[in-house]
Amino acid sequence: MNDLILIRPSKVLEREIMEYRQEYFDFGETQVNGSCGLAYYDNFDEWLNLVLSIEKDKLRNGVHTSTFFSVRKKDNKIIGSIKLHHFLTPDLENGGHIAYGIRPSERKKGYCKQQLLLILDVARKMKIPKVMIVCDKDNIASAKTAISCNGILINDVIYKGVEQQHYLIQLK
């Protein structure tokens, strides 16, 4: 099953990206995981400038980050968002290399695994030897996704009062 492609955010996609964001809010969610803080920006251009700058020019939390949206090929609908930190600093050890989310209306359809496999290919091309995925212990869907892509549980920790699990995926 290869229904998705990854695309970088752009001004051309403003309407679709903001509709994607709104769906999270409509479902009572306050974050848009894997979107580099999209939920916190009412001004699309400000958010887009941040996303584009931290990939190449500026560091955020000491790291460059690439942000993508997964788009379903058959109808060009944005299905999910995913970001990849190019490396980890000690501050990001509890956040991992990869964060991802699937729009609420498209969950439980296998898209998250497809999206993760696509970003793992990006990481391989960037010569990242391994990636860590961190999820809250009660986020069973995220843990299953990491495991389905050869993630190995390496750590259970409590971070800021929340139980988390760290999964490692070797890319070599």
pLDDT in tens, 100-152: 999 999 999 999 999 999 999 999 999 999 999 999 999 999 999 999 999 99
**Interhelix angle for 44-56 vs 14-26, to 10°?**
110
**Interhelix angle for 111-125 vs 140-148, to 10°?**
50
Global pTM? 0.93
Query: What confidence category does residue 19 fall into, taking pLDDT thresholds of 50, 70 and 90?
Result: very high
CA distance 8 to 126: 16
Alpha helices for 27-172 (secondary structure H): 44-56, 111-125, 140-148
Instruction: For residue 74, give the 3-state DSSP assignment.
Output: coil
Q: Taking Cα atoms as reference points, which of 155, 149, 131 lies closest to residue 83?
A: 131
At 154 the pLDDT is 95
CA distance 84 to 124: 12
At 1 the pLDDT is 62
Give the DSSP letter of residue 123.
H
Query: What confidence category does residue 92 fall into, taking pLDDT thresholds of 50, 70 and 90?
Result: confident
Q: Taking Cα atoms as reference points, which of 92, 85, 103, 101 lies closest to residue 141?
A: 101
The tens digit of pLDDT for each residue in 39-72 reads 999 999 999 999 999 998 776 667 899 999 999 9
